[in-house]
A and B are shown apart, each in its own frame.
Chain A
Amino acid sequence: MLRYIVKRLLWMIPIILGVTILVFTMMIFCPGDPAEIILGSTAMEADLAAKRVELGLDKPYLIRLATYISDVFFHFDLGVSWITNVDIMSTIADRMPRTLILAVVTLVIAFGLGIPLGITAATHQNKWQDHVSMVLALIGVAIPNFWLALLLIILFSVKLGWLPAMGVGTGLAGIQYYILPALANCAGALANSARQTRSAMLDVIRADYITTARSKGVAERQVIIKHALKNALLPIITTMGISFGRMLGGAMIIETIFSLPGMGSYIIGAVNNRDYPIVQGGSIMLAIAFSIAMLLIDLLYAAVDPRIKAQYASSKKRKKVKAVA
């Protein structure tokens, strides 16, 4: 298992390198002259030219790419903001936790509530519990998270005045700022996980080994939790990665609505200000965070499914050959 984790971590290096190259290359085509963005449209031509040299824009593409990669991976330096001149890496270190907290909390809420809801629907197939949860799930899937965020603000902040509509706080009181964003962001994933759990459970409940468990005299509750759910979890976990990606993306929009200073509002603000180093560095850091999350989800999968675990234990050599090729 340890070797698998190490191997997966090593495999992340070319992926992240690829992301860096991809993002860097795309950003080159951004409209506008960087020197002019930095110095403003009133700057003198001589100053602009000097700035271009300072930024290394006169050098060929490959050199600039190599410089950027070495800055990022060997000096952990993403450069400074064109507009405010603030160091990007330290800003990200400050903001990233908020986005991750929002994404992880919503993931936990979504699956923590979605799985029991799906189980209830599956074990009461075609009864009212099933119909009610599936109608709710359909609606939940259909509502865009940013619209839900606005509706929640109207209800809880404007009409009822229970929760703040924007900002951050410190300490325990800071939690209240996360409640509405988390609610808005989790609805879709909650609904999705409930639907997936239901169909996975319905598949599993018909399996022979469930009949075996019943024939052993296992109580129905235990049959569902111990025998059915553990098997149904496998397809659910595989979709968790996709969900987490959507959570991160959703969190970016939600942050701008609730003025939560996270990665989303940082990057989106930067796009609007044409502050491209932030977009570039922020995207790479978010991709790294996402890749680590995917790795954790894969490990979770391996922990639940002995067949996968065995595969990693026994076919190390074969897999290595494949990965090298």
Chain B
Amino acid sequence: MRNTMINNLTKSNKKHKKQSELQRVIKQLKKNKIAMLGLYILIVEIILAALAPYISRYGYAEMDLTACFATPSFKHFFGCDDMGRDIFSRVLYGGRYSISIGIIAVLIAVVVGICIGAVAGYFGGQVDNIFMRILDVVQAIPGMLLMIVISAVLGPGFMNTIIALSVSTIPGMARMLRAQMMKERDSEYIEAAKSINCSQFSIIFQHLLPNCISPLIVQATMGVAQTITLAAGLSFIGLGVQPPLPEWGAMLSAARSYIRQSPHLVIFPGLAIAVTVLALNLLGDGLRDALDPKLKN
């Protein structure tokens, strides 16, 4: 308690405050064992995906027709699929696609969302009205449906999946940022900035944005989790990343036909999605608690 008071006192020294705020958040996060577990799982997953060629003994497209539908063993940890491809390798390589789709799509959505939300939230009035009515229209289409329509227009593929995902993530980001902006817009430090003749650009991006960033970070973390699920869903119905690329959803889609004979084909890619999403949610919960002590129960 006293520490935060002191932090507030040193607010005038902006750099110092930023430093100590970041340190406080990291310290808080480190104390939260569950959140750290999520973080460690993610780090391990990213390393496994990045080093997939060095870890796995088989390439993701390498077929061994003698091992079709092989069940898990020491030779093939997760077994083999219908074409005798090693599922463990495919899950590792798949992480590259799934995780990067999630992160890139959310990054794009964050950047565009910041621009829309910041402009609408800061200027208000007509500008805000126009943006919000457009978002109203976009959000009247359920997210999954919007993604399906966009995929129909653009066709399937890695980049197109990312575009479809980020377009449907933008409205949520923009709205949240706008609400934050409107809350902060009338604060005294903004009046102070205006009184010393800061440009509007600098007010928005240097003064307002840093104060709206906490909920954005949390939403972005959770957003990556959700985007990974959605991307897998899109690939699952055949509109996202296409086989033979080992994206997790696409793997599940292919495994569906063999569900009666070889359920292990279905288990592991889905487990990979679930573990990744779980880890991201754990981290997101921890970040929320660390960034906003008020919300902590």
Contact between A290 and B259, CB atoms less than 8 A apart: no
In the complex, B229 has a CB within 8 A of chain A? yes
Q: Which residues of B contact A (CB under 8 A)?
A: 129, 133-134, 136-138, 140-145, 148-153, 155, 225, 229, 232-233, 236-239, 249, 252, 255-256, 259-260, 263, 266-267, 270, 273-275, 277-278, 281-282, 297
Contact between B143 and A246, CB atoms less than 8 A apart: yes
Cβ distance A205 to chain B, nearest Cβ, rounded Å: 10
In the complex formed, the residue of B with least CB distance to A148 is B270
Contact between B256 and A158, CB atoms less than 8 A apart: no
Contact between A125 and B297, CB atoms less than 8 A apart: yes
How far is A14 from B134 in the complex, measured between Cα atoms in Å? Answer: 11
How far is A248 from B139 in the complex, measured between Cα atoms in Å? Answer: 13
The 5 A-B pairs of least Cβ separation, nearest first, read A249-B144, A147-B270, A18-B137, A142-B278, A142-B277
User: Inside 8 A of A271's CB, which chain B residues have their CB?
Assistant: 148, 151-152, 239
Among candidates A14, A146, A199, A249, residue contacting B236 with C-beta atoms closer than 8 Å: A146
How far is A19 from B133 in the complex, measured between Cα atoms in Å? Answer: 11
How far is A250 from B232 in the complex, measured between Cα atoms in Å? Answer: 12
User: Inside 8 A of A250's CB, which chain B residues have their CB?
Assistant: 144
In the complex, A136 has a CB within 8 A of chain B? no
Contact between B140 and A154, CB atoms less than 8 A apart: no
Cβ distance A144 to chain B, nearest Cβ, rounded Å: 5
Query: Known contacts being A253-B236, A279-B149, is A325 close to B129, with CB within 8 Å?
Result: yes
Contact between A290 and B140, CB atoms less than 8 A apart: yes
Among B153, B266, B270, find the residue whose CB has the most chain A CB atoms closer than 10 A. B153
Among candidates A29, A146, A158, A252, residue contacting B145 with C-beta atoms closer than 8 Å: A252
Contact between A142 and B275, CB atoms less than 8 A apart: yes
**A window 209-239: CB within 8 A of B:** none
7 CB-based A-B contacts, threshold 8 Å = A18-B140, A27-B149, A145-B233, A146-B236, A256-B237, A279-B152, A290-B142
Contact between A22 and B148, CB atoms less than 8 A apart: no
How far is A306 from B149 in the complex, measured between Cα atoms in Å? Answer: 40
Contact between A15 and B148, CB atoms less than 8 A apart: no
Contact between A272 and B238, CB atoms less than 8 A apart: yes
Among candidates A26, A144, A267, A290, residue contacting B150 with C-beta atoms closer than 8 Å: A26
Contact between A253 and B297, CB atoms less than 8 A apart: no
Q: Which applies to chain B's interface (DSSP): helix, strand, loop or mixed?
A: helix
User: Inside 8 A of B297's CB, which chain A residues have their CB?
Assistant: 125, 199, 202
Contact between A158 and B252, CB atoms less than 8 A apart: no
User: Inside 8 A of B275's CB, which chain A residues have their CB?
Assistant: 142
How far is A252 from B239 in the complex, measured between Cα atoms in Å? Answer: 13
User: Inside 8 A of B282's CB, which chain A residues have their CB?
Assistant: 138
In the complex, A286 has a CB within 8 A of chain B? yes
Contact between B145 and A286, CB atoms less than 8 A apart: yes
How far is A256 from B237 in the complex, measured between Cα atoms in Å? Answer: 8
Contact between A248 and B238, CB atoms less than 8 A apart: no
User: Inside 8 A of A15's CB, which chain B residues have their CB?
Assistant: 136-137, 140
Cβ distance B78 to chain A, nearest Cβ, rounded Å: 15
Cβ distance A256 to chain B, nearest Cβ, rounded Å: 6
**A window 19-65: CB within 8 A of B:** 19, 22-23, 26-27, 29-31
In the complex, A141 has a CB within 8 A of chain B? yes
Given contacts A19-B141, A139-B278, A271-B239, list 7 more A-B pairs with CB under 8 A: A18-B140, A27-B149, A30-B152, A142-B225, A268-B239, A271-B152, A294-B140
How far is A245 from B134 in the complex, measured between Cα atoms in Å? Answer: 18
Contact between B277 and A268, CB atoms less than 8 A apart: no
Contact between A144 and B233, CB atoms less than 8 A apart: yes
User: Inside 8 A of A153's CB, which chain B residues have their CB?
Assistant: 259
Query: Known contacts being A146-B233, A290-B140, A325-B129, is A31 close to B145, with CB within 8 Å?
Result: no
Query: Known contacts being A141-B277, A147-B266, A199-B297, is A19 close to B140, with CB within 8 Å?
Result: yes
Among candidates B134, B136, B252, B277, residue contacting A146 with C-beta atoms closer than 8 Å: B252
In the complex, A151 has a CB within 8 A of chain B? yes
In the complex formed, the residue of B with least CB distance to A274 is B152
In the complex formed, the residue of A with least CB distance to B265 is A150
How far is A173 from B38 in the complex, measured between Cα atoms in Å? Answer: 44
In the complex, A283 has a CB within 8 A of chain B? yes
Cβ distance B277 to chain A, nearest Cβ, rounded Å: 4
Cβ distance B27 to chain A, nearest Cβ, rounded Å: 22
Among candidates B134, B142, B239, B270, residue contacting A246 with C-beta atoms closer than 8 Å: B142
Cβ distance A187 to chain B, nearest Cβ, rounded Å: 11
User: Inside 8 A of B229's CB, which chain A residues have their CB?
Assistant: 144
User: Inside 8 A of B134's CB, which chain A residues have their CB?
Assistant: 18
In the complex, A16 has a CB within 8 A of chain B? yes
How far is A18 from B233 in the complex, measured between Cα atoms in Å? Answer: 27
Q: 0/1 per residue, A151-162, Cβ < 8 Å to B?
A: 101100010000
In the complex formed, the residue of A with least CB distance to B232 is A144
Cβ distance A151 to chain B, nearest Cβ, rounded Å: 7
Q: 0/1 per residue, A234-267, Cβ < 8 Å to B?
A: 0000000000011011101100110000000001
How far is A278 from B270 in the complex, measured between Cα atoms in Å? Answer: 31
User: Inside 8 A of A16's CB, which chain B residues have their CB?
Assistant: 140
